[in-house]
Amino acid sequence: MSAYVTSPTGRLENCEIVDLDNCNYSIKFVPKEMGVHTVSVKHKEMHIPGSPFEFTVGPLQGGG
C-alpha cells in the first residue's frame, strides 16, 4: 500500500498510512496550502477504486 498527496502547486506532500484493521486504512497529512489537493492510493502499484480523488482545503472557520 502506498499513498501520496499532491498540493495545488504540484508539490508532493508527506502523508501517513494508518492500518485500522479489517483491511481498512486511513491517510493522514497536514496541508501546507489552501486549494484543491489530490490523494493517490495504490495497492500493488495499482490505484484503488476511486483513486486518485480530490478535496479542497480552505481557511479555518471561527471555532476551528
In a domain, 48, yes or no: yes
Q: How many domains does the chain have?
A: 1
In a domain, 15, yes or no: yes
In a domain, 62, yes or no: no
In a domain, 50, yes or no: yes
Q: Give residue 59's pLDDT.
A: 86
In a domain, 64, yes or no: no
List the domain range (segments joined by +) for residue 36. 2-57
Please check the confidence at residue 63 and state whether its pLDDT lies above 80: no
Please check the confidence at residue 61 and state whether its pLDDT lies above 80: no
In a domain, 63, yes or no: no
β strands within 16-52, DSSP E: 16-21, 24-28, 35-43, 46-47
Q: Give residue 60's pLDDT.
A: 74
Reported as a single tens digit per residue, the pLDDT across 16-57 is 999 999 889 999 999 999 999 999 999 999 999 999 999 999
> In 3-state terms, the chain is what percent helix, strand and coil (to 5)?
0, 55, 45
Q: Give residue 48's pLDDT.
A: 94
- CATH value at residue 11: 2.60.40.10
